[in-house]
Amino acid sequence: MIDYWLGGDQHHPVDVQAARAFESAYGPCAAIFRSLRAFSGRAVRHLAAGGVDQFLVFGAGVPAQGNVHQAAPGARVLYTDVDPQVAAVGRTLLAGLEHVDYVVGDATDLESIDRAALDRILPERAVRPVGLVFLGLAAFLDDPALAKALDAMYDAVPAGSMLAFDFDSTELAGHPQALAMMGPAFHMREPAAFGALLGRWTPTADGIVPVARWRPDGPPEQVPDAFWGGLATRE
């Protein structure tokens, strides 16, 4: 669905049907997801400009376009997703890229990520700052699971590492039919409450803001504030 909204070609008719059904309940989504992907690019470029050249991506989805390795050319990037089918598609799309791979991994259980892949793609992850990319995933975890996962990530990387994060605001509360389509395990969050879930991670001075307004390259996209996010530092 996201690839369809981004204008890509890595989706199936069933994805288009689902995307259109969702839009009939909510409204147009392409501009929102393009804005979200643009935020991801700005965040990763910001980390790369600061010297981060190794990334671990959680819940990466189908890496069709606007991916971490494209925003940070030359970086070492390990993509992970809990869904084996998504990871298999990802591996196919990324085949042949040097220092980039895609493996199955549960963001709530770092031990589930293949150690050999970690050692191959991110051999210096314990001694040099890592960029952790945690986008499009928070909505699928309840508060205790999210806080625990972010805390484990903090312990897994050295000082100076950075976390790029986002989460769903309460935008869908005003669209009950669309909200129902997200299923019972979908979690919206009040931005003011999200900071506590970051635990020991320290948000940068940019704060936790609607993603279109996070260090925009120009005038921010005029989209609903459906997704908020930011960067946080491991001290």
Ligand X SMILES: C[S@@+](CC[C@H](N)C(=O)[O-])C[C@H]1O[C@@H](n2cnc3c(N)ncnc32)[C@H](O)[C@@H]1O
Q: Which is nearer to ligand X, 140 or 201 (CB)?
A: 140
Best CA proximity match to 195, nearest among 171, 167, 160, 227: 167
Residue 42 CB, shortest distance to ligand X, in Å, is: 14
Contact predicate 183/201, CB 8 Å: no
Q: Which is nearer to ligand X, 23 or 106 (CB)?
A: 106
Q: Which is nearer to ligand X, 136 or 203 (CB)?
A: 136
State the number of CA atoms in the 13 A half-sphere of 210 facing the CB: 14
Residue 181 CB, shortest distance to ligand X, in Å, is: 13
Residue 222 CB, shortest distance to ligand X, in Å, is: 21
Residue 98 CB, shortest distance to ligand X, in Å, is: 22
CA angle 9, 171, 184 (to 5 degrees): 80
Q: Which is nearer to ligand X, 51 or 162 (CB)?
A: 162
The contact set with ligand X (CB under 6 A) reads 2, 58-61, 81-83, 86, 106-108, 135-137, 140
Best CA proximity match to 202, nearest among 159, 142, 156, 144: 159
Distance CA 84, CA 74 (A): 26
Residue 88 CB, shortest distance to ligand X, in Å, is: 12
Q: Which is nearer to ligand X, 167 or 201 (CB)?
A: 167
CA distances from 147 to 74, 141, 199, 230 (A): 31, 9, 7, 16
The β-bridge partners of 100 are: 77
As given in the structure block, the two tokens for residue 116 are: 């050999």
The β-bridge partners of 209 are: 229
